[in-house]
Amino acid sequence: MIEKVGAISFRKRRTFQRYYLLFSVIGLLYVFRHMADLDLGDWLRIGVVSIIYLATIALLLKWFVRRETVWKFVYLTSRKVKLSFICNYLCCLTLLQLAVVEWWSQFMGLAALVVMTYCGAWVFCQLFWPMSGTVKFTFLGDEVTDLFDSMSYQGRSGRQDGNNWGRK
């Protein structure tokens, strides 16, 4: 029978955490067993591709996971669960690297797309976006007065506009 998490006794919770840690360590050791076949050159090559994927995953986590959730996990989770999460992270990272070995060309193609997206965003933000203001100033001269300044007063406040929605 499934109990609610709040209704579980301290002893059952502690037992569950111990089993979770035990199964996480067993899973990690099982995955490590399959890594022994690769040599150092393969690991360096795979590591470079994995860095790209880890950076992308970290960026997505930063975008989609609220900061309060991370701090709650850091402060309210027991050491056993944190250690289990570290084992699970290492296990998933090892599985990612083993998948890279098996499907090298597909992962390299996807990594190239990620790198090109990063480079394209950097070029856009550093070169083209500032250049558009310069080109507009070049063609229109000093008479450009319609440039948007987000820091200047816009003539309204969110509080006043929010209360008047739907009213005439």
Our CA angle for 155, 159, 164, nearest 5°, is: 85
Higher pLDDT, 126 or 154: 126
8 in the same domain as 58: yes
127 in the same domain as 65: no
Please give the structure tokens belonging to residue 132.
Answer: 């558009």
121 in the same domain as 78: no
13 in the same domain as 49: yes
Would you call 164 helix, strand, or coil by DSSP? Answer: coil
86 in the same domain as 111: no
110 in the same domain as 93: no
62 in the same domain as 121: no
pLDDT in tens, 82-141: 999 999 988 888 888 888 777 888 888 888 888 899 899 888 888 877 777 777 777 776
| pLDDT attached to residue 47 | 80
The total of structural domains in the chain comes to 2
7 in the same domain as 77: yes
Residue 153 lies in a domain: no
Residue 126 lies in a domain: yes
Quote the pTM value: 0.58
95 in the same domain as 12: yes
| pLDDT attached to residue 145 | 57
Residue 113 lies in a domain: yes
Please, what's the b/e burial string for 89-125 (b: 16 or more CB within 10 A of its CB; e: otherwise)? eebeebebbbebbeeeeebeebbeebeeeeeeeeeee
Residue 16 lies in a domain: yes
pLDDT in tens, 36-84: 777 777 777 778 878 888 888 888 888 899 989 989 988 988 899 999 9
Structural domain boundaries enclosing 8? 1-102
